[in-house]
Amino acid sequence: MEPRRIAGRRAVVEVRNHIEDRWCDAESGRTRENRNPGDLADIVSRSADSTAADALAAVTAAQAALPAWRALGPVRRGEIVMRTARLVAERRQEFAETITREHGKLLREALGEVDRTVALLEYTAGEGRRLGGATLPADDPRTMALTRREPIGVVGLVTPWNFPLAIPAWKVAPALVAGCSVVFKPSPLTPLTAALLVECFVAAGAVSGVLNLVHGGAEVGEALVKIPAVAGISFTGSVEVGRAIHTAGAPRFLRTQLEMGGKNAALVLADADLDAAADAIVAGAFGQAGQRCSATSRVVVDRAVHGELVRRLAERAAALRVGDGMEADSQLGPVVSAERLRACLDGVRQAVAEGAVAVTGGERVNEGVPDGYFMAPTVLDGVRPDSYIAQEEIFGPVLSVIECDGLDDGLRIVNSVRYGMAAAVFTRDPAFAFTALDRIDAGMLHVNRPGVGAYPHMPHIGAKESQYGPAECSPQVWDFYTEWRTACISY
């Protein structure tokens, strides 16, 4: 049975778990209420608030489904993922509106996420035909040596709220194509988008028990880490939770793939086209209200052009129209929760106490918007590279500007954080650009363009504390969901 819908234009949806082939309530009967962060009067869903018991039931179902699923082979499993891509594309508008209501991002950003998800699913489905190993030379005569990939077994997928469709899709799809069975635990802030995605996979042919959905908070994720039948956890979220998962799983050699936070810099050199740089930086910093792991949150700018760049950034940021993501003329939506808003405001307050100046923004927006978690687009100037706001991810529409003295000093500051997710460089000189690419310690680099993301067939990868384990969204992803076998055959 599908998640039960309650009639009404802005329906409150009862979102249930999906275990084996049933949509069911949490064993405890508890639910959580989710409201639209851009309009708190809008109750989006009531979702199952599960416990370790639900996690265990889901893992048991996933284990039982494994042998038949493995036997199906990657080509047929890929076909199911391809059908899922079509179903998601058919429900494009419904997905986008749900994402906007649950997360707050602009409807056009949500549509972009749906389109990207379809591309990711199509790419991953096709990879099923390439999921092979190698034939190798043998030392002995009349002998063939070969390598093969085998699925690792039951995997737990633990996801955040900021890409509530794309991130689950880029985990579930390769897990299923590889032949793993899945227990998927989405963020408690975005349960409905997760349920719609599972509906599509099930309608496309993901058979009973191969894709289980358990809603809830940390308790469910912690349980998945502890259940011995779970062979691997693919997690996206904060460094702190990633570390907790890795540490808790280490005694039993749990395989982990951890995609974590960022404190991403845009390095602007003295020869850069400042208008183009400002446009790109504003897009990278304030898109999705700054709530992307690759969002630009630091600008490291050469002293020679510092004043000119700050003026351009402040003008552009101040001109952004803050509003409900559903409104066509909104340019900056709310942040996702009261907790996130508080983190942004506290971060700004601390930065100002340490000597930074808010050249625009810095406060909550209450006027001209619905009751929601709206933060003004904020540009902080005079930020010290070692201050909290320059070192820690606060995940909101707040951009810190730090001065540097040329390329070497700029690269030193860019690399002076524990994260290494993404970075952008702005210069007209190819030698500067390639030097920066050689020396910036970050996974995803951009030159003269917004410093966010990459394409579906490229590794989604960070350096330092931003990432652990094989990358997602590329052929490297199979190194998480499969393990190698060798065979030597004499004839």
133/217 with CB nearer ligand NAD: 217
Tokens of 226: 């502890």
- Spatial contact of 192 and 102, defined as CB atoms under 8 Å apart: yes
Tokens of 347: 């971060």
Site string for ligand NAD, 339-378 (x = CB under 6 A): ----------------------------------------
Q: Per rule CB under 6 A, is residue 192 in the interface with ligand NAD?
A: no
d(CA 157, CA 360): 39
Q: Which of 293, 344, 404, 473 is catalytic?
A: 293
Concatenated DSSP letters of 365-390: --TTS-SS--B--EEEES--TTSHHH
Residue with the closest Cβ to ligand NAD?
Answer: 221
C-alpha separations of 224 from 28, 217, 228 in Å: 17, 12, 9
Site string for ligand NAD, 206-225 (x = CB under 6 A): -----------xx--xx---
Q: Per rule CB under 6 A, is residue 159 in the interface with ligand NAD?
A: yes
Q: Per rule CB under 6 A, is residue 460 in the interface with ligand NAD?
A: yes
d(CA 3, CA 483): 35
Q: Per rule CB under 6 A, is residue 133 in the interface with ligand NAD?
A: no
Q: Per rule CB under 6 A, is residue 168 in the interface with ligand NAD?
A: no
Q: How far is the CB of 397 from ligand NAD (least distance, A)?
A: 15
Verify whether residue 27 is a known catalytic residue: no
**Residue type at position 298:** R
Look at residue 23 and give its three-state secondary structure. Answer: strand
Q: Per rule CB under 6 A, is residue 393 in the interface with ligand NAD?
A: yes
Q: Per rule CB under 6 A, is residue 391 in the interface with ligand NAD?
A: no
d(CA 472, CA 459): 6
292/316 with CB nearer ligand NAD: 292
**Contact residue for ligand NAD among 260, 380, 440, 452 (CB under 6 A):** 260
Taking contact as CB under 6 A, which single stretch among the options 153-161, 175-183, 267-275, 318-326 is the one that binds ligand NAD?
153-161
d(CA 103, CA 412): 35
d(CA 344, CA 318): 17
Q: How would you write 146-206 as a 3-class SS string?
A: EEEEEECCEEEEECCCCCCCHHHHHHHHHHHHHCCEEEEECCCCCHHHHHHHHHHHHHHCC
Q: How far is the CB of 461 from ligand NAD (least distance, A)?
A: 9
Q: Which of 122, 259, 392, 403 is catalytic?
A: 259
**Contact residue for ligand NAD among 244, 365, 445, 447 (CB under 6 A):** 244
Question: How many residues make contact with ligand NAD (CB under 6 A)?
Answer: 30
Residues contributing to the site for ligand NAD (CB under 6 A): 158-163, 185, 187-188, 217-218, 221-222, 236-238, 241, 244-245, 259-262, 293, 393, 395, 421, 460, 462, 466
